[in-house]
Amino acid sequence: MTDQCRFAASGHCGGRDSGKAMAKKYIGWVVVAMLALAAYAAPVLAHSWKETQFANRPLYAYPLPSGRDDIIGTLTTYKIQPGDTLLDVGRWFGLSAKEISDANGHMDWWLPPAGREVILPTEYILPDSSRSGIILNVPEMRLYYYFPSPAYTRHRKGKVTATAFHTARVVYTFPVGLGRFDWKTPLGVWRVTEKVKDPTWVLPEDIYQEHLERDGQADRVVPGGVPENPLGHYKLDLSIPEYGLHGTNVPWGVGMTVSHGCVRLYPEDIERLYSKTPVGTPGEFVYQPIKFGWRGDALYVEVHDDLYGKYPGLWRLATQVVQQRNLTGKVDMAKLEKAVELRAGIPTYVGFGDVPPDGAIPEVAAAALNTPDTTESTAAVSSASSPPLSMTTPAAPPDLSSTTISSTSPPAMSAPAFPPTATAPAPAAADDDGPDDRPGGDWQSKSSDE
């Protein structure tokens, strides 16, 4: 090869190598810049929620209404932050994602539009039942605990007898997850028979076979206290065989029908319920998709889905309940029909005449109920002329040293700082009367749940 050829070849090769080097250097700088931008933007674009915050959110006790009144709490509003899901927002405010979605035109659980102001259904009509012990309304997927409950003594042979009858002064309320359509949570009265911390899950044969068919393998026993245990860390066993109230290792299951019949609560909720519930506490599973309630002279209705399809139609049921409750002539049937159509799960005024000041749905909620959600991230904030209470972001997590008693939805129930960074102490089980914690012994539970 001539010098000219060698020179040409080396010159060509040198230029190619130089070009590759420059390209690699350029790509490297682009990657570094993109990573830096992503690191900078991440806290802004995504709202981070932490388990420690959920574990230490406030617990509120609502004074039991007097006379014929049977509505607790007040509707509130919250502005969706970037990165929020209704599952996280709901858990922070003691709600389920389904409850918030239903109250806002069936908004998307996973992609609620950032900047949208939504209604928080933190107002409830108490179920038409006794106001003693634990009452769970299945269609509502919500539990009400009237506290204090009657006191009981357990004898050596296991018999439980009442020793004192307390009149409830406050009511706690928690969202729950329930049994699937093919494993319906049963109805009826019961009492708490055992309290178990870190329960062992012994799979019944039918559930074991179901898991075996689905996954190809299954354990017959899941030890208590391990992350894989679907019962969580606390369980209240019931006099209904193989059923109980317990925690969960999958919090998003609250507000859904995903269990094998048992009742799931958020981990922080079951810990508090466990600490306040003595063995022998009475309870009942009721089925009331339509609830009527009074606040003063104003009549309201709260409508939920017919979860297990027990009735041929909610409108027919609504007219029957009107007659059964002797409300004929007191209900504006046009307003009732609209409420049944929306099934928003929030108390709605159905009396004649103008809506009383405390009975109006905030405009932000009314707009959401009448307009299906589009889940656009650029959705404009709905304006409310005078919402009852607006949730704000505190500078620090709330003080949880004691239970807060509130006649309405307290302003302290607010969203954590964005992004949240504080680490709070373990949740307090304190009450104005002190916790009522009676261990249930060493018995290991058997459950029909998963």
Model confidence pLDDT, tens digit, residues 264-281: 999 999 999 999 999 999
- Residue 400: the pLDDT is 31
What pTM, to 2 d.p., does this model score?
A: 0.73
Nearest to 49 by CA among 423, 419, 394, 427: 419
CB 58 within 8 Å of CB 413: yes
Q: What is the rounded CA–CA span in Å between residue 302 and residue 304?
A: 7
SS3 call for 430 = coil
CB contact set of 78 (below 8 Å; sequence gap of 6+): 89, 93, 117, 118, 120, 390, 391, 415
Q: What is the rounded CA–CA span in Å between residue 421 and residue 108?
A: 27
Helices (H) and strands (E) in the chain, counts: 9, 23
Nearest to 196 by CA among 163, 161, 158, 238: 238
- Residue 103: the pLDDT is 97
Nearest to 218 by CA among 233, 232, 206, 234: 206
Residues of the chain below pLDDT 50: 1-16, 18, 20, 24, 31-32, 35-45, 363-365, 371-403, 405-449
Q: What is the rounded CA–CA span in Å between residue 263 and residue 320?
A: 29
CB contact set of 250 (below 8 Å; sequence gap of 6+): 230
- What interhelical angle do 333-342 and 314-324 show, nearest 10? 140
Q: Residue 335 region, left (φ>0) first, then alpha (ψ -120 to 50), else beta?
A: alpha
For residue 282, cis peptide bond before it (omega within 30 degrees of 0): no
132 C-beta neighbours (distance < 10 Å), count: 19
Output DSSP code: residue 186.
Answer: P
Amino acid at 419: P
Q: What is the rounded CA–CA span in Å between residue 137 and residue 123?
A: 15
CB contact set of 427 (below 8 Å; sequence gap of 6+): 55, 56, 59, 268, 271, 272, 400
Q: What is the rounded CA–CA span in Å between residue 60 and residue 69?
A: 19
Supply φ then ψ for residue 264, to 5 degrees. -100, 140
Nearest to 79 by CA among 41, 47, 102: 47
